[in-house]
Structure 1
Amino acid sequence: MTGQLSYKNSKVITIGIVSELTGLTIRQIRYYEKRKLIFPERSEQGNRKYSFNDVEQLINIANKREEGVQTFEIRQDMLKEKRKKSGSQLRDEMLRGQINAQFGVNKDR
């Protein structure tokens, strides 16, 4: 599935539908966007568009907020997770490069 956009990542859902799916108010969703916890795209008309992954993220945020976790803490956890993933991806690429160099494999072939 490399190079293809998964349906879960496609930004096609309007804020009203997201509100219905998550139980959050539109105001709450906009607040989480302002706090940089969610990143919708904008249509040509300026409407926010969300993905299924965004919906899942909003549900996770709402659950954490119910547990008393502050938005700042949620953001910090998201940044740590992102760094962890990018570090893991970098290691994978480096290992792949070492293996390719060792065995004379060329990606362009």
Structure 2
Amino acid sequence: MREDPLYKNRKVITIGVVSELTGLSERQIRYYEERKLIFPERTERGNRKYSFSDVERLIDIANKRDEGVRTYEIRQEMLKNKKKEDAKIRNQMLRGQINARFGIQKGKN
């Protein structure tokens, strides 16, 4: 049996289960979706499906809210972190292209 290394990102959990796991009400979870802090997928019937990564993110959001952080500030932090991650990936891709172009092998000087 092949194990998916990205199982945490598979959207398979219903909002009711997410509510039980996080201690948040379904209304709070939907509110965080409205504020663009969480992005569930929808089934053909319109039901929301979440991943384990989403559950972790919701717990992090709830903890920050308990500390008094506003949803706007959480969203800004998420955007900033995404830009950093995008830049890191872009740099890795460019480094790979340069290495391939000039025949540089990883680990050799």
Percent of aligned positions that are identical? 61
Q: Whole-Å Cα distance in 1 between the matches of residues 5 and 26 of structure 2?
A: 26
The one-letter amino acid paired with 2:96 is R
| Pairwise CA distance, 1:58 | 0.1
1:40 is matched with 40
Q: How does 1:1-40 map to 2 (within 5 A)?
A: 6-40=6-40
Q: Structure 1: which 4+ aligned runs deviate by more than 4 Å?
A: none
The one-letter amino acid paired with 2:76 is Q
| Pairwise CA distance, 1:6 | 1.2
Q: What is the TM-score when the length of structure 2 is the normalising length?
A: 0.90
The count of corresponding residues between Structure 1 and Structure 2 is 102
Q: Whole-Å Cα distance in 1 between the matches of residues 100 and 64 of structure 2?
A: 43
| Pairwise CA distance, 1:5 | 6.8
Tell me, what secondary structure is at the counterpart of 1:19? Answer: helix
Map Cα deviations across residues 30-81 of structure 1 (whole Å, 9 max, x no partner): 0000000000000011000000000000000000000000000000000000
Structure 2, unmatched stretches of 5+, are none
Q: What is the TM-score when the length of structure 1 is the normalising length?
A: 0.90
